[in-house]
Amino acid sequence: MQIILNGEPYELKDGATAAELVQQLELTGKRIAMERNETIVPRSQYEQTELQPGDRIEIIHAVGGG
């Protein structure tokens, strides 16, 4: 299936979850925030959030510093 990831087309297997997307992008354990169709997806819901064709996903990396 195809989703839009940070404004670009991206291919995923059918039925992929938000957690699988994070793993595929090698972002597991990193400080990120995910938005699906303009709604924040809590990290605790990644495993249960099944992505659908055409979903618009935005992922941002949290950057610390001072």
pLDDT at 27: 96
| Residue 29 falls inside a structural domain | yes
Q: Identify the pLDDT of residue 30.
A: 93
Question: Is 13 within the bounds of a domain?
Answer: yes
Range of the domain at 10: 2-61
Alpha helices by DSSP H, listed for 1-66, are: 18-24
pLDDT for res 64: 74
Q: Is 49 inside any structural domain?
A: yes
Reported for 29-32, long-range contacts at CB under 8 A and 24+ positions apart, including other chains, are: 30/61, 31/61, 31/62, 31/64, 32/59, 32/60, 32/61, 32/62
The CATH number given to whatever domain includes residue 25 is 3.10.20.30
Q: Over the stretch 22-65, which tens digit does the pLDDT of each residue have? A: 999 999 999 999 999 999 999 999 999 999 999 999 999 887 76
Residue 63 is predicted with a pLDDT of 78
- Tell me how many domains the chain contains: 1
- Say whether pLDDT at 66 is over 80: no
| Average pLDDT over every residue of 6-21 | 97
Q: Flag whether 9 is in a domain.
A: yes
